[in-house]
Amino acid sequence: MTMRRLLMGIGLAGLAACGSGEDGRSAYPNPDPFPSTYEPYPSENMVIQGATILTGTGKRIENGSVLVLGGKIQAVGEAGELDVPRGFTVVDAEGKYVTPGIIDLHSHLGVYPSPSNASTSDGNEATSPNTAGVWAEHSIFPQDAGFGRALAGGITSLHIMPGSANLFGGRTVTVKNVPSRTVQGMKFPGAPYGIKMACGENPKRVYGSRGGPATRMGNFRGYRQAWIDAKAYKDEWDGYARSVEAGEGGKAPRRDLDKETLAGVLAGDIIVHMHCYRGDEMVQVLDMAEEFGYEVGTFHHAIEAYKVADILAENDVCAAVWADWWGFKLEAYDAVRENAALVANQPNGCVVIHSDDPNGVQRLNQEAAKAMADGRALGIDIAPEEAITWITANPAKAAGILDRTGTLESGKDADLVIWDQDPFSVYARPEKVFVDGALMFDREDETRQPVFDYELGQSALEDA
């Protein structure tokens, strides 16, 4: 994982980094055929003054200031410590809280949008256990009204994934939560791709009567055979690239989109996000990753992470969890409310609180608050400045964008939220949400609240 983290931000170039021919063109297929066209909206140079700041780095600053210059965070510190340059707009945030923009690591916004019906149900390509070659971005409906609701909840970045019907569900995509006509206009520039994989009940339920896998052991055969095939595919391309580099030329191998994604994982360019509820299965997956020389980034829906929290931490794997969901299926039966706290309590433990839900995404702060309180009840003392990392820095790390967002540190994108009070209160609401310094949501200003095409001109919404 460390290696991959180092590649963060240049991940897309990984496959194409070597094997260039004499003309400088990569022998590998273009790794970025749907490039981001996201551009930050205009922002003011400003100082947000007087707030309690939870920085996302584990620090808390009372009466703090955040300086934003050119859409980037210039400085963060105690109000008295920072000189405010001339011409900066002063935003008075006395009595309020400032946090990094909230990041949802497990979103299906856009792929299961509002309106929700068969016409828009585009999240699971449940036609084959291995659809590693599908890309979530090709399903995203940029007019999903859920993006706007999430923005009002302080969400500034989303890691959007295919569903969990398949062993290999397809590629994930990370977006800035800024409305656009196109998904390319939302894509987080430079964010690495991920792949969605699934353990356990879902694949065997979906394919049990359709040729398999029908069992958990069938799941593992499916993963392992695919990795074997992907390795051969990667070797073929690497061989071709070497011959191009040596000036020998030759015929490019035939492209296979499923294997191309898996080869990207083996090359360390694509992060593995694996839906896995049971602790015992997670440990088996870690052995499989070792067998094929790749790394698991995050186990999602890791209901039983607390049973193997030590092993996850030793392997530098994050556990993305709900605060308290349980019981909707057998593999979600052993949920405990202290799950997040028990994982965080391990040395090197990495917890992410995720939503998987267009409602829950609007209140990830409340989910983190519950998980924090439940930890305390078990004697694990977790401060708000740490718990905030579960929905900011840790999901940024897990999505491979921590070099750009997720904390309030000099040089990072000015993705941040001004809350009207302590965000770990049920009564707290974001007042202002900035993405790259641009004010994209203001609770007091309707002109700073998006209305999606689907909602426009609907009389019901005019009543609302």
Partner 1 sequence: MLKRTLIASLLLTGTALAQEGPLVITNAELHMTSEDGDVIENGQLVMRGGRIVAVGANVSQPSGATVIDAGGMPVTPGFFVPMSGIGLTEIGAVQEANDASTDNEALSAALDARDGYNEDTSVIDVTRAGGITRAYVTPDAGGTLFGGCGMVIAMERGPGSIMEGCIGQVATLGEGAARSAGGSRQAGIAMFRRALEDALLYDEDPEAYARSDHHNRLSVEDARGLAPAATGEQLLLVDVNGASDIRRVLSMKDEYELDLVIVGGAEAYRLAEDVADADVPVIINPIANLPSNFERMGSTMEAASRLADADVTVAFYDTGTGYTHNARLLPQLAGNAVASGMDHAEAMRAVTLGPATIFGVEDALGTLERGKLGDVVIWDGDPFEVTSRPLHVFIEGEEKSLENRQSKLAERYKDLGRGDRPFQYRNR
Could you say whether residue 427 binds partner 1 (CB under 8 A)?
yes
Select 410 or 458, whichever has its Cβ closest to partner 1. 458
Give the E-state strand segments of 55-110 in sequence order: 60-69, 72-78, 89-92, 97-100, 102-107
- With CB under 8 A as the contact rule, which of the stretches 61-69, 143-151, 176-184, 435-443 interacts with partner 1? 143-151
Structure tokens at 126: 């449940």
Tracing tokens 């609701």 back to the chain, one arrives at: 149
Could you say whether residue 316 binds partner 1 (CB under 8 A)?
no
Q: What is the residue type of 315?
A: N
CA 54, chain centre distance (Å) = 20
Structure tokens at 368: 């983190």
Select 17 or 451, whichever has its Cβ closest to partner 1. 451
Shortest distance (Å) from residue 306 CB to partner 1: 5
Could you say whether residue 461 binds partner 1 (CB under 8 A)?
yes
Structure tokens at 131: 């659809």
Q: Where are the alpha helices (DSSP H) in 132-273?
A: 145-152, 201-207, 216-245, 257-266
- With CB under 8 A as the contact rule, which of the stretches 24-32, 226-234, 291-299, 303-311 interacts with partner 1? 303-311
CA 202, chain centre distance (Å) = 21
Select 38 or 112, whichever has its Cβ closest to partner 1. 112
Structure tokens at 120: 């828009």
Residues 337-366 that bind partner 1 (CB under 8 A): 337-338, 342, 357-359, 362-363, 366
Could you say whether residue 320 binds partner 1 (CB under 8 A)?
no
Nearest Cα residue to 207 out of 191, 195, 196, 218 = 218
Question: Which string of x and - marks every residue 161-180 that binds partner 1 (by CB under 8 A)?
Answer: --------------------
Among 3, 24, 86, 117, binds partner 1 (CB under 8 A): 117
Structure tokens at 104: 């949802």
Among 44, 238, 316, 324, binds partner 1 (CB under 8 A): 324
Q: What is the residue type of 181?
A: R
Could you say whether residue 83 binds partner 1 (CB under 8 A)?
no
* Those residues with Cβ within 8 angstroms of residue 349's Cβ, 6 or more apart along the chain or in another chain: 309, 312, 313, 319, 343
Select 4 or 96, whichever has its Cβ closest to partner 1. 96
Nearest Cα residue to 176 out of 272, 103, 122, 113 = 103
Q: Would you say how long the chain is, in residues?
A: 464
Could you say whether residue 122 binds partner 1 (CB under 8 A)?
no
Question: Which string of x and - marks every residue 193-232 that binds partner 1 (by CB under 8 A)?
Answer: --------x---x---------------------------
Could you say whether residue 41 binds partner 1 (CB under 8 A)?
no
Instruction: Please say whether the beta carbons of 38 and 180 come within 8 A.
Output: yes
Instruction: Please say whether the beta carbons of 174 and 159 come within 8 A.
Output: yes
Shortest distance (Å) from residue 381 CB to partner 1: 13
Could you say whether residue 118 binds partner 1 (CB under 8 A)?
no
Phi, psi of 10 (to 5 degrees): -115, 15
Could you say whether residue 372 binds partner 1 (CB under 8 A)?
yes
- With CB under 8 A as the contact rule, which of the stretches 39-47, 171-179, 235-243, 418-426 interacts with partner 1? 418-426
Instruction: Please say whether the beta carbons of 334 and 20 come within 8 A.
Output: no
Structure tokens at 15: 């496959």
Could you say whether residue 309 binds partner 1 (CB under 8 A)?
yes
**For the chain, percent helix, then strand, then coil, each to nearest 5?**
30, 20, 50
Query: How many chain residues interact with partner 1 (CB under 8 A)?
Result: 53
Regarding beta strands 72-78 and 102-107, do their DSSP bridges make them parallel or antiparallel, or are they unpaired?
unpaired
Shortest distance (Å) from residue 336 CB to partner 1: 4
Shortest distance (Å) from residue 134 CB to partner 1: 24
- With CB under 8 A as the contact rule, which of the stretches 91-99, 158-166, 258-266, 333-341 interacts with partner 1? 333-341
Structure tokens at 240: 């071709």
Residues 429-458 that bind partner 1 (CB under 8 A): 429, 454-455, 458
Structure tokens at 351: 């917890």
Structure tokens at 178: 């800024």
Select 76 or 369, whichever has its Cβ closest to partner 1. 369
Interaction site with partner 1 (CB under 8 A): 114-117, 145-146, 149, 201, 205, 306-310, 324-330, 333-338, 342, 357-359, 362-363, 366, 369-370, 372-373, 377-378, 424-429, 454-455, 458, 460-461, 463-464
